[in-house]
Every structure is written in structure tokens, then in C-alpha cells.
């Protein structure tokens, strides 16, 4: 926690800077607030968060393609690579979320109370170590061993998003929120692309699928070493940040008082904009994880691509998502900074784009014949790629509603909404009893499209871009008690 001395120094610096700014503004100089170096410490921290989510998604996604190789004796050129005859593959794919949901509420509170740095180091270390042991667990305990490993990995990754959201709320000014926030969260798409491509290539090599888990786990441990040295909970604690950059960040965020606050759960849980985020995130997660976990099966069994081309084509939509996310975020920030759209209107517009267009693409995909390979790939690219607009929609809306409690908000919405990450693959397993049946896949695509549209409508009606009154609940309660 920041010391009282540091808070006094910050208060004095803010007062001094504000006086100078006011003097300059009176003289007609509106370019007073300096942002620090072109690549400042906030950019360094954001890059570290990008790498964290990139590696986390590599680890999270590798089993979607890897399980194809784990159950296919012809996948590797090395006949000594073990393979298994498992009939519960969808259950295995959902196991990650068994542990993922539980820690999220606590993670947001812990990040606000003690700082998220060492929780992130511990969580990624645990996740990486379990990845190293996953091939051994598969050999000794079969599919149940893989489920246990994935559940523990999910539990450890449950600390990541609430902690990163808390860090972004501390390090990223509102005027840069769409761009830098999208850069960080789009790392998930980038990691998905890398994981699908590399998993297919490694699994088909002489090293086989076990090397997939060893490689990504080693990268996770490497990140822990770097972040332990370079990561920092907030600008006030960074030993090398310039005064200009620190003031630019903290004055824009209005966070001169870094005292930890008690989360106003009763007010948070009765807030319509919060529930709008939650419902939208549920809808998005249903579609995202349905497509992410099942695209390799769809491409392999319906479109009949081999594992190498399957991994490439499965990754293509997520590469598109990664690229388009930067386009949408730049447009979003421009519209907000030029006062063309309010923050709330911008979030709703881009959220609608990110859910409605993919819904239309999925309906069309459901009516695509199994021999129309090009059309299927194009529609999958649209369904997943345009979904990137949500990074400038509900995905960063937590920070708009409450900079003080954005970590707790993300913990609540992300944690419980990822129940859909469990239910969606199981629903696919229940409906798609014949993986080569085009009619059964059509039901999945129609269902996902309907959920996307409902989620989009809820956010348009109940979403908001305004800071909520309960963001300063302790201050308000204190003022009332003094009256």
C-alpha cells in the first residue's frame, strides 16, 4: 500500500501542477499537461499485461487443437508419441472452467487490498507448472488426470483478468482506455492464433503433442521472472517513472488517494449497468467458447481438413480478430476524444457491431453446405473477427462505471459469466451426437446467434458509460455521517 508520505507528496504535486495548468490556460496555452516519454512506464506495464494474457491464452487454448492429436495415432510422424481413445473430449475441454470461476470474486478484492503483482506471479507459476505435468497426468490417470490438471490451471488463471483490470484502471488514462485496453485484451486473440498454429505444427512433428505443453509452460515461467522484476502495482510505486507521466496518469484518473476501499457489493449488485455487462459477457462467452473449442472439430469432421490445415484455418478467424481489434479501438477512442460520441454511446455502438454482425454470419454458416469450404471459412472469419469490436464495448466498460472497483467488477462478471464456458461445450456434446452431421451443427450456430442478439439488446437498453455514484461510496457515506 502507498504510504501516507507518498500520498501527501502526490497531493502537493497535483496542487502545484494544477496551479501551473490554470495559469497557462489563462494565457491561452492549452498544451500544458505532458504525457512523459513516447514509450513511458505505462506502456511498459501494458506490454507486460499483453504478454501475460498472450501466454495465458496459449495455455488455455492449446488443448482445443492438442486433444485432436492426443486422440489420433496418425497425428505425429513419431510412432512412440502416446495417444488415447477418449469419448469424453467435450468434458475435458470444459474442465478448465471448473476451477476458473471460483477465485475471481476474491481476486478482485485481493488486488484492491494488497496489490495484484505477486498474485499474478503465483497464479501464472502454478498454471505453468501444471502444464509441464499434464502429459504425465494423461499417461498415469487418463482423461481424468487431464481434467484435474486443466481445472487447476483454470483456478490459477482465475486471478488474471480481475488483477489486470485493476492494473489497467491504475495505469491507463480514460483518453487512452480503448486503445491500450484493447491492446491488452486482444492478446487473447493473438495467443489463440499462436497456440492453434504452433500446436498443430508441434503436434504433427516428431516431438508430438507433449512438447506443446512443455513449450507454453516454459514461456509462462519466463514471464513470471520478468514481471517479478519489472511489474508494478501503480504509478505512485514505480521507482523510475517521470513526474510528468505520473501526474498525467493520476490527475486524469483522479486517483490521488490510493487508500484501499471496501467494495460496496450491495450497491454494485443492484446496479442495472453492472447487470448489463454481466448478461452481455455471458452471451459473448457462450459464443466465444463454443466457437473456440469446437471449430477444430467442425473443420476436421464436417470440412474434412487434416490437423495441419485444421490448425491454420482454425487460427485464421482469431488472427483477423486481433487485427480488427486495433482498428475498432482506434476509431472508438477518436470518436470519444473528438466528442462525436459519448463514452456510453461509443461502448454501445461497438458492442452492437461486435455481436450483431457475427450473429448474422453464424446464421449463414448454419446454411452452408459441407462442400462449400471457402464460404464456411469466410463466414467463420467474419463471425470471430468482427467480434473484436466488443473490446471497445462491454469488455472495458467496468472501468467506465467504477475506476475504484473495476477489478471487483471484472471478477464478478467474468467469473460467473464463464459458467457459459462450461455449459457451451457440454451443450455441443449433447446436441452434436454425430460430428459429421451438418443439421446438428446448424442448431449450434442458430443457438449461438440468438444468444448474441439477446446480449446485444440488453447492453443497448441498460448499459452506461457514466461513473456510478457508488464508485465513491465511502466518501458519500462519510459526508452523510458528518451532516
Separation between Cα atoms, residue 353 and residue 442, nearest integer Å? 22
Could you tell me if residue 263 is inside a domain? yes
Range of the structural domain that residue 197 is part of: 39-477
3-state secondary structure 53-113: HHHHHHHHHHHHHHHHHHCCCCCCCCCCCCCCCCCCHHHHHHCHHHHHCCCHHHHHHHHHH
> Coil, strand, or helix at residue 432?
coil
List, for residues 93-111, the tens digit of each pLDDT value: 888 888 888 888 788 778 8
Residue 455 counted as domain residue? yes
Q: Which string of b and e fits 351-375 if b means at least 16 CB within 10 Å?
A: bbbbbbbbbbbbbbbbebeeeebee
The DSSP symbol for 454 reads H
Task: For residue range 259-309, list pLDDT tens digits in order.
Answer: 456 788 899 899 999 999 999 999 999 998 888 777 777 777 777 766 556
Return d(Cα 27, Cα 44) in angstroms, integer. Answer: 35
User: Tell me, what DSSP letter sits at residue 391?
Assistant: G
Does residue 147 form part of some domain? yes
Question: Per-residue confidence of the chain (483 residues) as pLDDT tens digits?
Answer: 344 444 444 445 444 444 544 444 344 444 445 666 678 889 999 999 999 999 999 999 899 888 888 988 887 788 888 989 888 887 888 888 888 888 887 887 788 788 899 999 999 999 999 999 999 999 999 999 999 999 999 999 999 988 998 899 889 887 788 888 889 988 988 898 888 888 888 988 889 899 999 999 999 999 999 999 999 988 988 888 888 888 888 877 765 444 456 788 899 899 999 999 999 999 999 998 888 777 777 777 777 766 556 667 777 888 898 899 989 999 998 999 899 999 999 999 999 999 999 999 999 988 888 788 888 889 989 999 999 999 999 998 998 898 888 888 888 898 888 888 778 878 888 898 887 788 888 899 999 999 999 999 999 999 999 989 998 765 545 444 454
Residue 284 maps to a domain = yes
In a domain, 160, yes or no: yes
Question: Is 27 a domain residue?
Answer: no
Does a structural domain hold residue 3? no
- Give the chain's domain count: 1
CATH code for the domain in which residue 144 is found: 1.20.1250.20
Judge whether 4 lies within some domain: no
Amino acid at each position: 500500500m502507498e504510504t501516507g508520505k507518498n500520498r501527501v507528496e502526490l497531493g502537493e504535486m497535483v496542487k502545484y501542477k494544477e496551479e501551473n495548468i490554470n495559469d497557462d490556460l489563462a494565457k491561452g496555452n492549452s498544451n500544458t499537461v505532458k504525457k512523459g516519454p513516447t514509450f513511458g512506464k505505462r506502456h511498459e506495464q501494458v506490454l507486460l499485461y499483453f504478454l501475460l494474457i498472450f501466454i495465458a491464452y496459449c495455455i488455455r487454448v492449446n488443448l482445443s487443437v492438442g486433444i485432436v492429436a492426443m486422440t489420433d495415432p496418425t497425428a505425429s510422424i513419431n510412432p512412440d508419441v502416446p495417444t488415447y481413445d477418449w469419448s469424453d473430449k467435450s468434458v475435458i475441454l470444459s474442465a478448465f472452467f471448473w476451477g476458473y470461476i471460483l477465485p475471481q470474486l476474491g481476486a478482485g478484492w485481493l488486488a484492491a487490498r494488497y496489490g495484484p503483482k505477486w498474485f499474478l506471479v503465483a497464479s501464472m507459476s502454478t498454471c505453468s507448472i501444471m502444464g509441464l505435468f499434464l502429459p504425465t497426468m494423461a499417461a498415469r490417470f487418463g482423461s481424468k488426470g487431464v481434467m484435474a490438471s486443466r481445472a487447476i490451471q483454470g483456478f490459477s488463471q482465475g486471478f488474471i483478468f480481475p488483477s489486470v483490470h485493476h492494473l489497467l484502471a491504475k495505469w491507463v488514462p480514460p483518453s487512452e482506455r480503448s486503445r491500450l485496453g484493447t491492446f491488452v485484451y486482444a492478446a487473447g486473440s493473438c495467443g489463440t492464433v499462436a497456440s492453434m498454429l504452433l500446436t498443430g505444427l508441434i503436434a504433427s512433428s516428431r516431438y508430438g503433442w507433449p512438447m506443446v505443453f512443455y513449450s507454453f509452460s516454459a514461456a509462462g515461467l519466463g514471464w513470471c521472472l520478468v514481471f517479478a522484476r519489472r511489474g508494478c502495482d501503480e504509478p505512485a510505486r514505480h521507482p523510475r517513472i517521470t513526474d510528468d507521466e505520473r501526474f498525467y496518469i493520476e490527475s486524469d484518473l483522479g486517483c490521488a488517494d490510493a487508500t484501499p476501499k471496501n467494495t460496496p457489493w450491495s450497491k454494485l449488485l443492484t446496479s442495472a449497468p453492472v447487470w448489463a455487462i454481466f448478461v452481455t459477457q455471458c452471451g459473448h462467452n457462450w459464443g466465444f467458447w463454443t466457437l473456440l473449442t469446437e471449430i477444430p472439430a467442425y473443420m476436421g469432421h464436417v470440412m474434412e481438413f487434416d490437423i495441419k490445415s485444421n490448425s491454420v484455418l482454425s487460427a485464421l478467424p482469431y488472427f483477423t480478430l486481433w487485427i480488427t481489434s486495433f482498428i475498432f479501438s482506434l476509431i472508438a477512442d477518436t470518436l470519444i476524444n473528438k466528442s462525436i460520441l459519448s463514452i456510453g454511446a461509443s461502448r454501445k455502438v461497438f458492442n452492437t457491431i461486435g455481436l450483431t454482425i457475427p450473429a448474422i454470419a453464424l446464421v449463414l454458416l448454419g446454411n452452408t453446405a459441407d462442400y462449400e469450404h471457402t464460404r464456411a471459412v469466410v463466414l467463420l472469419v467474419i463471425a470471430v473477427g468482427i467480434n473484436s469490436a466488443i473490446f471497445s464495448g462491454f469488455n472495458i466498460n467496468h472501468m467506465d462505471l467504477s475506476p475504484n472497483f473495476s477489478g471487483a467488477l471484472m471478477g464478478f462478471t467474468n467469473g460467473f459469466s464463464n459458467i457459459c464456458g462450461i455449459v457451451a461445450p457440454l451443450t455441443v456434446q449433447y446436441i452434436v451426437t454425430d460430428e459429421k452431421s451438418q443439421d446438428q451443427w446448424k442448431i449450434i450456430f442458430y443457438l449461438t446467434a440468438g444468444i448474441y442478439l439477446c446480449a446485444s439488446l440488453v447492453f443497448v437498453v441498460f448499459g452506461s458509460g457514466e461513473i456510478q455514484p457508488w464508485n465513491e461510496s465511502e466518501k458519500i457515506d462519510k459526508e452523510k455521517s458528518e451532516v
